[in-house]
Chain A
Amino acid sequence: MAAADFSRLIAAAADTIAAHAEELTALDQAIGDGDHGLNMKRGFEAVRAEADAFAAKPLPDALKAVGTKLVMTVGGASGPLFGTLFMALGKDLPAAPDRDGLTAAFGKAIEAVAARGKSQVGQKTMLDVLQPVYEALAQGKTAGEIAKAADKAAEATVPMRALRGRASFLGERSIGHMDAGARSTALLVRAVAEAIEGN
């Protein structure tokens, strides 16, 4: 991937998080501690500030650098979770990945996120978006279809009962609200998909 393309993906990711920061915070206020939008925005702005330096690295190292920056700047549980996603992607992605390489690395990254959060699919978390995205990747779906799958998966967390994170303290009362981490994951997937499709 050309450095300019990677910079553009970072900008697209940071833009969508910034544009939806208040919505993410509102989702998190409903069933969490209400800092998700601000935390994610801080993290992705820190990544944006160093986008050119990251983009100059080979793709795997660039992704690891993004992950490390998120870990250090987000300041909530989302930092290690989203950071691990990018760091693990960087660890397993070849320098010039094809669809199979991307799918395999994405699968490993999801496992790393699940281990970091001691969570699994069905517990009303970001994993509930990552898994359908992985399946769409594996089925050879287009970028647009993958973005739609991510949105649908985030919506599908609304009727779920939270079993991990602060929302799980609410038990039944966590039902009826979208998970903030699932929403931010879907936003990032859509931003990256649209940036790639626009190529």
Chain B
Amino acid sequence: MSNVGIVIVSHSPLVAEGTADMVRQMVGDEVPLAWCGGNGHGGLGTSVEAIMGAIDKAWSEAGVAILVDLGGAETNSEMAVEMIGEPRSHKIIVCNAPIVEGAVMAATESSGGASLKEVVATAHELSPS
């Protein structure tokens, strides 16, 4: 699939899964999609290992946009991208956008065949800067 992949990373697996459900409702199976949430030990948090797994699952040669909730999700996602390393890391971007709105907007943009840059820009438009 050549559409940009979307990864959703929340501290809460319920938020991540619910956000993914909302994305699916908009774009069906046209967009590679994966989510992860929780610290891997049953608590709230984010796991670098789980994020790396989600990136693999949603991988697309067009790239992957990651939507995160709070700070630790962003820090762990950036760490995961760094550990995946080059060349794939150049095609993975952690978006600065609200997680639910960002994921739905980014996926909708992706489903139309937009580039990674365009998908990320759409998500970023949601954030006042």
Contacts and interface: CB of A to CB of B under 8 A. Distances in A.
B75 A80 contact: yes
Nearest to A117: B75
A39 B45 contact: yes
A63 B66 CA distance: 29
B83 A71 contact: yes
A190 interface: no
Contacts, number: 49
B48 A33 contact: no
Interface string A100-118: 0000000000000000110
B44 to A, nearest CB: 7
B3 interface: no
B39 A71 contact: no
Contacts of A165: 71
Interface in B76-104: 76, 78-79, 83
A42 interface: yes
Contact of A77 (B40, B41, B44, B75): B75
B46 interface: yes
Given A39-B45, A71-B83, A116 B75 contact: yes
Given A75-B45, A77-B76, 17 more contacts: A35-B39, A38-B43, A42-B41, A71-B83, A72-B48, A75-B40, A76-B45, A77-B75, A80-B48, A80-B75, A80-B78, A80-B79, A83-B79, A84-B79, A116-B75, A116-B79, A164-B71
7 contacts: A35-B44, A42-B41, A75-B45, A84-B79, A116-B75, A116-B78, A166-B70
What are the nearest 8 A-B pairs in CB distance?
A: A75-B39, A77-B72, A80-B79, A75-B45, A77-B75, A80-B75, A76-B72, A76-B45
